[in-house]
């Protein structure tokens, strides 16, 4: 069998050429990175969990009319997606102060924000993904004013959907990051949600205990990352309760 063509390899995922034009296969790795890849580890089973969770969130978004790149899951680690031209911005939505916002503005982590706050970061590892304003985005041609309006609308719809889904299982959506891409249909360009939505790109706190169920477990050495993601998947009904993150074959005597 011919080896399929690798299009791009990132920190947590690999993109391969898809079976049809305009499609790609997105493979989820077990690699966990933080602090611009200064901290790196392999967390067994993380890729399987994120593939499932991203499928779950993107399928839900598609169902309520928020367009995403997700077409279908292929296997444990791979999904078929639409090929997009990624806008070089990370779009962060915050409901509660945490992480870099708490640090930058001196707001205690856990402080509820008066309204969802949207931030844009320019995707450039060499620069450490700096915070940018709409002025920079338009002046440097990363996106137009119309794109920005559409991105804000998409981000807020994703926030409403994800907040509701998580609240229903006792989890507070503190903040999250999405990436957005362009697709062309005939002469028209549309923006759709791309990349992934998973505990790698969200902050998720248990509503009762405040326990962190997201990548901060890895960033801050708070315990086993796969256990935290498995708990999110279990509550959402994405994994049967008796399935753990073990992916190795088990010998049955
Ligand atoms: N985030 C992400 N990728 C990044 C940076 C941030 O997915 O490269 C997510 C992060 O998991 C959190 C939100 O975006 O849910 C806001 O992150 P923040 O700006 O607080 O940065 P951090 O504290 O993670 O450096």
Domains of the chain in sequence order = 6-84+224-235 (3.30.200.20), 85-206 (3.30.470.20)
Q: Which residue has the tokens 């060499």?
A: 126
Indicate which residue's Cα is closest to atom 10 of ligand 1: 201
Residue nearest to atom 24 of ligand 1 (CA): 99
Distance 21 CA to ligand 1 centre (A): 32
pTM across the whole model: 0.94
Say how many C-beta atoms besides its own lie within 10 A of residue 249's C-beta: 6
CA distance 75 to 148: 34
Residue 250 confidence (pLDDT): 63
Q: Mind listing the pLDDT tens digit of every residue in the chain (253 residues)?
A: 567 899 999 999 999 999 999 999 999 999 999 999 999 999 999 999 999 999 999 999 999 999 999 999 999 999 999 999 999 999 999 999 999 999 999 999 999 999 999 999 999 999 999 999 999 999 999 999 999 999 999 999 999 999 999 999 999 999 999 999 999 999 999 999 999 999 999 999 999 999 999 999 999 999 999 999 999 999 999 985 555 555 566 666 5
Q: Which pLDDT does position 2 carry in this prediction?
A: 64
Name the closest-CA residue to atom 2, ligand 1.
201
Distance CA 155, CA 141 (A): 20
pLDDT for the residue numbered 3: 73
pLDDT of residue 33: 96
In whole angstroms, give the CA distance from residue 235 to residue 213.
11
Instruction: Look at ligand 1, atom 21, and give the residue with the nearest C-alpha.
Output: 100
Instruction: With both helix axes pointing from N to C terminus, report the angle between 145-167 and 46-63 in degrees, rounded to the nearest 10.
Output: 110
Cα of 169 vs centre of ligand 1, distance in Å, is 22
Nearest CA, atom 19, ligand 1: 100
Residues with a CB atom less than 6 Å from ligand 1: 90, 92, 98-101, 129, 175-177, 201-203, 215
pLDDT of residue 239: 81
Distance 177 CA to ligand 1 centre (A): 6
Is-contact 77 27, C-beta < 8 A? yes
């Amino acid at each position: 069998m011919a080896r399929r063509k690798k299009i791009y390899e990132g920190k947590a995922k690999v993109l391969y050429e898809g079976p049809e034009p305009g499609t790609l296969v997105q493979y989820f790795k077990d690699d966990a990175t933080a602090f611009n890849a200064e901290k790196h580890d392999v967390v067994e089973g993380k890729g399987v969990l994120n593939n499932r969770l991203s499928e779950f969130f993107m399928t839900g978004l598609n169902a309520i009319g928020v367009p995403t790149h997700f077409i279908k899951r292929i296997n444990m680690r791979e999904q078929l997606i639409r090929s997009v031209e990624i806008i070089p911005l990370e779009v962060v939505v915050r409901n509660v102060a945490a992480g870099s916002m708490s640090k930058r503005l001196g707001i205690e982590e856990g402080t509820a924000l008066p309204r969802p706050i949207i931030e844009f970061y320019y995707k450039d590892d060499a620069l450490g993904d700096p915070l940018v304003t709409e002025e920079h985005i338009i002046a440097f041609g990363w996106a137009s004013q119309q794109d920005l309006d559409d991105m804000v609308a998409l981000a807020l719809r994703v926030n409403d959907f994800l907040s509701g889904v998580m609240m229903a299982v006792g989890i507070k959506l503190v903040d999250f990051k999405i990436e957005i891409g362009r697709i062309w249909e005939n002469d028209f360009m549309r923006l759709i949600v791309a990349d992934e939505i998973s505990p790698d790109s969200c902050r998720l706190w248990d509503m009762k205990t405040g326990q962190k169920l997201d990548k901060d477990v890895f960033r801050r050495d708070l315990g086993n990352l796969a256990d935290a993601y498995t708990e999110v998947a279990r509550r959402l009904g994405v994994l049967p309760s008796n399935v753990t993150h073990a992916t190795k074959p088990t010998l049955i005597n």
